[in-house]
């Protein structure tokens, strides 16, 4: 059996099903390009039948992202499969991923089908997909709660109909590592033709076991793992790709398996996904959390300084976290700034570089040392941003325990500067109300979240918020950074309003 494990990334499909996440086509394309650089084998770009937006995103990724298989999800019905094919057909390596549930719970309550009907429908779906492409994945939804003998029959029939990858999802995150390993072995021993296909697993994290279950499955013989960056996905999420990959690499002595992932791209991918989905990464998250390589205890710090491997099982550089000694500050010139951008992997146009340098200087006036994280934040949040109808010119806040919070906000629209003031329940509320007076839109703040990008008292704060126009449910996410959290809130609010205005004017979201 081959020792290569294929990595199937579903950040853009299952990951996008995370509550509150909605990516537009441009954001999906940016993530897909980064996933290709990361070296995943398959990108599941979306579920084309679900909306025109999803169809467009899958089809753009299929046309533009090379060197990777692009999959589109489809139920087993003809309309889904035809639509998935339409979306992926221009990919270098297109895949149709079709699924039907196999557990009795789903058969009785959801599908209202007999076991025979499920087999017939699965076979018809796989055959239809094979009519379009030689790369067809079949998933037995809720497989881990299905009767093993019936599941083997479904899988056997799907293979006979032409499936080339068979996926065994733990759809509700119910199984345990030992049980799942036995289950996978049961499928391998009980299914005719299984040796002809790649056996895949797709684990959800409801009990926090998605990565452990996926790893148990590869030890039992599976050779494709499905997951999402930062472990995002439906409910508690999917197996985290970065944890799977780094486990296989760090413990290659036990697994003896390899992937095609370029681990040095992990950190950048994780940051990008967090930024565009608005889902922040918990500080103690394995591999990519802010604290994953931070040593707090004196004994640990002493040990790491003497010999890194005393308390570090992975080298942070392996996942792309750089520890540069060169500190940039207010005396640093354009040349040093440009060199650091290149080291961090950014290639900016002259215009973007100028803008970034101005923001860098503004920040350096307020903050003694500018770290790599600060620079990444400037570029990712401030430079490559939505076309701006409004820009924040200035902000004045009056707030305290005994006064009504008041904000004075200045926004520019082209050459014109407009100022308004408003009171609110708190300073952020006051800022939003003052901004609304200028823009003429009346929005409610659906969520507001702050995280510190860097350490120290002068840390950069990043605000991620979501707004919706009053009486509508359509959410727009905005982000803003500053050493001042109220300024970061104002920037984030204006960013979200700009996205909303863009979509209204152009009839489509920002690309």
Q: Which residues bind ligand KIV (CB under 6 A)?
A: 14, 99, 139, 141, 167, 169, 171, 202, 204
Per the CB < 8 A criterion, the answer to whether 397 and 403 are in contact is no
Q: Which does 240 bind (CB under 5 to 8 A by kind): ligand KIV, Zn ion, none?
A: none
* Smallest gap from residue 142 Cβ to Zn ion (A): 10
Q: Which does 259 bind (CB under 5 to 8 A by kind): ligand KIV, Zn ion, none?
A: none
Parallel/antiparallel/unpaired status of strands 42-46 and 443-452:
unpaired
* Smallest gap from residue 44 Cβ to ligand KIV (A): 9
Per the CB < 8 A criterion, the answer to whether 42 and 71 are in contact is yes
Tell me the angle at which helices 241-250 and 266-277 cross, rounded to the nearest 10 degrees: 170
Residue whose tokens read 């025979």:
116
* Smallest gap from residue 86 Cβ to ligand KIV (A): 19
Per DSSP, 384 falls in state S
Torsion sign over Cα 382, 383, 388, 390 = positive
Where does residue 341 fall: left (phi above 0), alpha (psi -120 to 50 degrees), or beta otherwise? Answer: alpha
Gap between the Cα atoms of 454 and 366, Å rounded? 14
* Smallest gap from residue 304 Cβ to ligand KIV (A): 39
Gap between the Cα atoms of 62 and 132, Å rounded? 15
29, two tokens:
């394309």
Nearer to ligand KIV, 100 or 395 (CB): 100
Tell me the angle at which helices 427-439 and 485-506 cross, rounded to the nearest 10 degrees: 30
Per the CB < 8 A criterion, the answer to whether 492 and 478 are in contact is yes
Gap between the Cα atoms of 239 and 178, Å rounded? 17
* Smallest gap from residue 250 Cβ to ligand KIV (A): 27
Nearer to ligand KIV, 141 or 380 (CB): 141
Nearer to ligand KIV, 71 or 321 (CB): 71
Residue whose tokens read 């990724």:
61
Q: Per DSSP, which regions of 39-164 are E strands?
A: 42-46, 69-75, 93-101, 136-141
Strands of 391-398's sheet, edge to edge?
391-398, 406-413, 416-423
Secondary structure in 3-state letters for 413-447? ECCEEEEEEEECCCHHHHHHHHHHHHHCCCEEEEE
Nearer to ligand KIV, 13 or 479 (CB): 13
Name the residues that contact Zn ion, by CB under 5 A.
14
Nearer to ligand KIV, 102 or 482 (CB): 102
Parallel/antiparallel/unpaired status of strands 6-9 and 42-46:
parallel
* Smallest gap from residue 280 Cβ to ligand KIV (A): 23
Nearer to ligand KIV, 214 or 489 (CB): 214
Q: Which does 75 bind (CB under 5 to 8 A by kind): ligand KIV, Zn ion, none?
A: none
Q: Which does 141 bind (CB under 5 to 8 A by kind): Zn ion, ligand KIV, none?
A: ligand KIV
Nearer to ligand KIV, 102 or 263 (CB): 102
* Smallest gap from residue 14 Cβ to ligand KIV (A): 5
Nearer to ligand KIV, 74 or 397 (CB): 74
Residue whose tokens read 């489509």:
508
* Smallest gap from residue 207 Cβ to Zn ion (A): 15
Gap between the Cα atoms of 297 and 305, Å rounded? 12
Residue whose tokens read 């002259």:
350
For residue 385, CA distances in Å to 8, 28, 495 come to 29, 15, 8
Q: Which does 99 bind (CB under 5 to 8 A by kind): Zn ion, ligand KIV, none?
A: ligand KIV
* Smallest gap from residue 56 Cβ to ligand KIV (A): 21
* Smallest gap from residue 200 Cβ to ligand KIV (A): 9
Per DSSP, 277 falls in state H
Nearer to ligand KIV, 34 or 76 (CB): 76
Nearer to ligand KIV, 202 or 385 (CB): 202
């Amino acid at each position: 059996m081959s020792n290569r494990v294929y990595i199937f990334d579903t950040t853009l499909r299952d990951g996008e099903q995370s509550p509150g996440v909605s990516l537009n086509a441009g954001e999906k394309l940016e993530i897909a390009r980064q996933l290709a650089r990361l070296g995943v084998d398959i990108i599941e770009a979306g579920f084309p039948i679900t909306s025109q937006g999803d169809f467009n995103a899958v089809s753009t990724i299929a046309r533009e992202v090379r060197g990777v298989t692009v999959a589109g999800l489809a139920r087993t019905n003809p309309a889904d499969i035809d639509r998935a094919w339409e979306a992926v057909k221009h990919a270098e390596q297109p895949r149709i991923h079709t699924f039907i549930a196999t557990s009795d719970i789903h058969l009785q309550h959801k599908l209202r089908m007999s076991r025979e009907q499920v087999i017939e429908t699965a076979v018809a779906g796989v055959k239809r997909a094979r009519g379009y492409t030689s790369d067809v994945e079949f998933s037995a939804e809720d497989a881990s709660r299905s009767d093993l003998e019936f599941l083997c029959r479904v899988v056997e029939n799907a293979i006979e109909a032409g499936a080339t990858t068979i996926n065994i999802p733990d759809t509700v995150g119910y199984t345990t590592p030992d049980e799942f390993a036995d289950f996978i072995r049961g499928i391998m021993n009980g299914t005719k033709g299984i040796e002809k296909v790649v056996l895949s697993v797709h684990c959800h994290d409801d009990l926090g076991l998605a990565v452990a279950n996926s790893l148990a499955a590869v030890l039992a013989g599976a050779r494709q793992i499905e997951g999402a960056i930062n472990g995002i996905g439906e409910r508690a999420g999917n197996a985290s790709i970065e944890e799977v990959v780094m486990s296989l690499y760090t413990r290659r002595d036990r697994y003896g398996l390899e992937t095609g992932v370029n681990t040095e791209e992990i950190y950048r991918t994780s940051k990008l996904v967090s930024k565009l989905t608005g889902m922040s990464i918990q500080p103690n998250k394995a591999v990519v959390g802010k604290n994953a390589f931070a040593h707090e205890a004196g004994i640990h710090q002493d040990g790491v300084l003497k010999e890194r491997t005393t308390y570090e099982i992975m080298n942070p550089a392996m996942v792309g976290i750089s520890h540069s000694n060169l500190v940039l500050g207010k005396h640093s010139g354009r040349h040093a700034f440009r060199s650091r951008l290149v080291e961090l992997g950014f290639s900016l146009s002259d215009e973007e570089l100028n803008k970034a340098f101005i923001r860098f200087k503004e920040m350096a006036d307020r903050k003694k040392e500018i770290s790599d994280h600060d620079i990444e934040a400037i570029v990712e949040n401030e430079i490559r941003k939505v076309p701006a109808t409004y820009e924040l010119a200035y902000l004045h806040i009056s707030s305290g325990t005994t006064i009504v919070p008041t904000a004075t906000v200045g926004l520019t629209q082209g050459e014109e500067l407009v100022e308004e003031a408003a009171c609110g329940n708190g300073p952020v509320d006051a800022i939003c109300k003052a901004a609304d007076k200028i823009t003429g839109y009346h929005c409610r703040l659906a969520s507001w979240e702050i995280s510190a990008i860097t350490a120290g008292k002068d840390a950069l704060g990043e605000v991620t918020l979501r707004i919706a126009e009053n009486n509508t449910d359509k959410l727009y996410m905005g982000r803003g950074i500053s050493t001042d959290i109220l300024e970061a809130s104002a920037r984030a609010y204006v960013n979200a309003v700009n996205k909303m205005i863009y979509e209204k004017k152009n009839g489509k979201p920002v690309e």
